[in-house]
Amino acid sequence: MVSPARLAEGLSAFGLDREGRPEQPLVHVDLDGCSALASGVVEAAVAAAAEARHILVGVASRPLEQEGLRLATTLSLSLVPPAPPGQSVARSCIAAADPTRTAMSLATSVLATPMAATTLTGLLRLTEQLPVTDGLFAESLAYSTLLAGPEFAAWRQSTPRRPVPVGTPDDPPVVLVREEGLLRITLNRPRRHNAFSSELRDGLLEALDLARWDPTLTAVELTGRGRSFCSGGDLDEFGTAPDPAAAHLIRTRQSVAHAIDRIGARVRTLVHGACIGAGIELPSFGARLEARPGTYFQLPELRMGLIPGAGGTVGITRRIGRWRTAYMALSGNPVDVPTALEWGLVDAALTDDAPREPGDPTHESVRLVGRIGWSNALTEGEKRGD
pLDDT one-digit tens code per residue, 127-185: 999 999 999 999 999 999 999 999 999 998 888 877 766 666 667 899 999 999 999 99
Mean of all residue pLDDT scores within the chain? 87
pLDDT at 353 over 50: yes
pTM of the predicted structure, to 2 decimals: 0.88
Give 251-285 pLDDT, tens digit per residue: 899 999 999 999 989 999 999 999 999 999 999 99
DSSP 227: S
Using CA atoms, how far apart are residues 121 and 110, in angstroms rounded to an integer? 11
Q: What is the pLDDT of residue 381?
A: 32
- Give the mean model confidence (pLDDT) for residues 226-233: 92
Chain centroid to CA 305: 15
Q: What are phi and psi of 239, to 5 degrees?
A: 80, 20
For residue 63, give Cα distances in angstroms to 289, 343, 346.
31, 18, 26
**Percent of the chain surpassing pLDDT 70:** 89
Q: State which amino acid sits at residue 189.
A: R
Contact call for residues 265 and 244 (beta carbons, < 8 A):
no
Contact call for residues 58 and 77 (beta carbons, < 8 A):
yes
Q: What is the pLDDT of residue 148?
A: 92
Contact call for residues 143 and 251 (beta carbons, < 8 A):
yes
Give 16-30 pLDDT, tens digit per residue: 888 889 989 999 999
Burial of 94 (0-12, 13-18, 19+ CB in 10 A): buried
Q: What are phi and psi of 186, to 5 degrees?
A: -120, 125
Helices (H), the chain: 4-8, 39-51, 66-72, 99-112, 114-127, 132-147, 150-158, 198-213, 244-253, 256-262, 278-281, 312-331, 337-343, 380-384
